[in-house]
Amino acid sequence: MDRKVFLRTIRSCLVRLNLAGLFDKLVSALGIGAAVGIVFQAVSFVVPVYYVNLYMGILMMLAVLVAFVAAFLKRATMEQAALLMDGFGFQERIITAYENRNEEGPLVQLQREDAMRQLAAHRDRIRIPLWPSWKKTVFSVLLLAGMFGLALTPSKMKDRAKELHQIEQQAGEKEKEIEEVIEELSDLESEELTPQQFAALQEMAESLQSSLTEYRQADTEEALEAAGDKLNYKYGIMSSQIEDLARSLQNGGAVSGVTAQSMQAMAQKLREKSGNASQGPGGENGNQGGQSGGQSPGGENGNQGGQGDGQGTGGEGSGQGTGEGQGSGRGTGSSSTPHDYVSVPNAIADSESLTGNAYDHDASEYFRAQNGLSWEGNHVSHEAVIGSYERNAYEGIAAGKYPSGMENVIKEYFASFNQDQ
């Protein structure tokens, strides 16, 4: 065996020795990582942790990385490999020959030849196992099996963690949407607005901030749904308010057309978000009904000029709006929908249509007119009264005035009136 073969033999033992060290550290690291992973999985059975499996995977990758880094930092040298080889019965011949590999002389030459001769004759004695002891390997394998077994075991807490994660994702999307709407509302603020108009926009932003808090605190599907219902209702109210504000700005003529157009676009966007994007001619007149004192079932013939809730049905859509002012009147539009009327007290009926004494009737509930019975006061449609109560109820829901769980009861109550119509 010449010198090159001698060194190559030591180097091959060195590679095997380093691989054995890597495998030993890898098995140990995986066992430790699996033990910690078992703790993570056990915690997930009592605490909702959605990303427990992800944490477990990261932990195992870190264990492998640590094993490779430790094996590299503690890798063996040629001298250590030679000493290890001497342990198989070579009595330090190999380490001595390796240390004197660059030396020359009769004694050095004789010792080197003896070491090479012994190595060539008994090379089969050198056995370096690649894997660690079977006990360590089995123990690590059992820990890994336990960790993956717990990961695959279903539990109520894991289901709860999934539910919370879905709620968090949906709430996060709505939070982002609300923040964008609040920012767009701030963009509508202009020096040309009056203090009242500016305050109205600020009130809208504050109302959306409360919805933002509701979404951040939602931890059940019911709470998320309730927050969504309130938000959609707010969007609908705000769209009408911004439309009214845009119209008042256009009528005043003291604001740029760009600002008014931006408000109209914002109102349309909020209407789409509330789910009331489609409107027909009747719906448009409904949104303008805030300027009418009565109702116009046909769409255009309501008596305008007062305060009230205007509703219109006609064409292919419907709408609802709120305005300011006071007035009275009945719509004269036509519709196949029957109307009940509610008498508003404390207003004297038209005396020309009555017989008898129109001013001395404290004990009378109604008067007999020429063409039938005539109630005292202004006639207001059944739908207007119900609509007013319904609007107040939904505003109370949006403001959080009612106990938790009552929102759906209130909505179903008013929905029954719409079904009856």
pLDDT at 109: 87
Q: Quick one: 159 and 136 in the same domain?
A: no
Q: What is the mean pLDDT of each run of 10 residues along the chain (421 residues)?
A: 84 94 96 96 94 94 96 94 92 90 86 89 89 93 96 94 94 93 86 81 91 92 91 91 83 61 88 65 38 38 38 38 40 41 46 49 46 48 68 76 71 67 53
Last residue of a domain, one of 108, 123, 153: 153
How many domains are there within the chain?
3
Neighbours of 161 (CB within 10 A): 18
Last residue of a domain, one of 273, 296, 319: 273
Residues linked to residue 343 through DSSP beta bridges, in sequence order: 379
Last residue of a domain, one of 131, 153, 175: 153
Q: Quick one: 44 and 141 in the same domain?
A: yes
pLDDT at 105: 86
Which DSSP string corresponds to 46-66? TS--TTHHHHHHHHHHHHHHH
End-to-end CA distance of the chain: 107
How far apart are alpha carbons 192 and 250 in whole angstroms?
12
Q: How many CA atoms lie within 13 A of 64 on its CB side?
A: 5
Neighbours of 14 (CB within 10 A): 21
Q: Quick one: 147 and 194 in the same domain?
A: no
The domain in which residue 259 lies consists of: 155-273
The shares of helix, strand and coil residues in the chain, as percent rounded to the nearest 5, are 65, 5, 30
Q: Quick one: 46 and 24 in the same domain?
A: yes
DSSP class of 304: B
Element (H, E) at 22: helix 3-43
Q: Is residue 246 part of a domain?
A: yes
Q: Quick one: 102 and 229 in the same domain?
A: no
- Residue 251's φ and ψ, nearest 5 degrees, are -70, -35
Q: Quick one: 172 and 262 in the same domain?
A: yes
Q: Quick one: 213 and 240 in the same domain?
A: yes
Provide the phi-psi class of 377: left if phi over 0, else alpha when psi is between -120 and 50, else beta.
Answer: left
pLDDT at 102: 84
Q: Quick one: 265 and 190 in the same domain?
A: yes
